[in-house]
Amino acid sequence: MSLHRDLLNQAKHLARLEPRRPRQASLRRAVSASYYALYHLLVSQATARMFHGKSRAPLRHRVARAFAHSVMKEVAGQFAGNSVSPRLSPGLNGQPLQPKIVQIAGSFIALQEARHDADYDTARRFKRAETLSLVRTAERAFSDWDHVKETDQADTFLAGLLTYRNMQA
């Protein structure tokens, strides 16, 4: 199984652990795993498009390390806000954004922000219902990705996640 799928399964498991009184550690790790599941799905999809085949795996792993969370959030913000910059818009071929791409981008941002809270804000308390909702957000993003992954918009989104700051308008 893939890392992104394993992380999503781990998030589901941790969110349901300790049925009566869930520990904050379990809920926080579930939130973090939800974000990283979507992060690794997108990175995996992008690098697989660039470098096909088993022999290219070492290069895929190296390039995967080049993705920056802040750049990914910036690009996701453009797609979520339906305001893609001139650097990326040529890849959309004049077509309006598909709602599922907009939703995936919004999910990425929401999960990243929740992950920051889970990992760094020790005063913040997570509830199981909120955590399960975030896990479902990641699950929906996976499902939505399956519907759009073969589109020009998906290619544009993935290219932007890696190269946006180096692209020229």
What confidence score (pLDDT) does residue 38 get?
A: 98
Q: Tell me, yes or no, if the pTM score tops 0.85.
A: yes
44 Cβ neighbours under 8 A, 6+ residues apart = 2, 3, 4, 64
Query: CA-to-CA distance for 54 and 36, rounded, in angstroms?
Result: 24
Q: Quick one: pLDDT at residue 50?
A: 87
DSSP structural state of residue 56: G
CA torsion angle for 13, 109, 118, 25 (degrees, to 10)? Answer: 0
Mean pLDDT throughout 71-75? 97
* pLDDT classification of 9: cutoffs 50, 70, 90: very high
**How much of the chain is helix, strand and coil, in % rounded to 5?**
75, 0, 25
pLDDT of res. 88: 95
* Domain ranges, residue 88: 3-166
Question: Quick one: tokens of 86?
Answer: 């001139």
Report how many domains make up the chain: 1
Taking 70 as the threshold, does the pLDDT of residue 134 lie above it?
yes
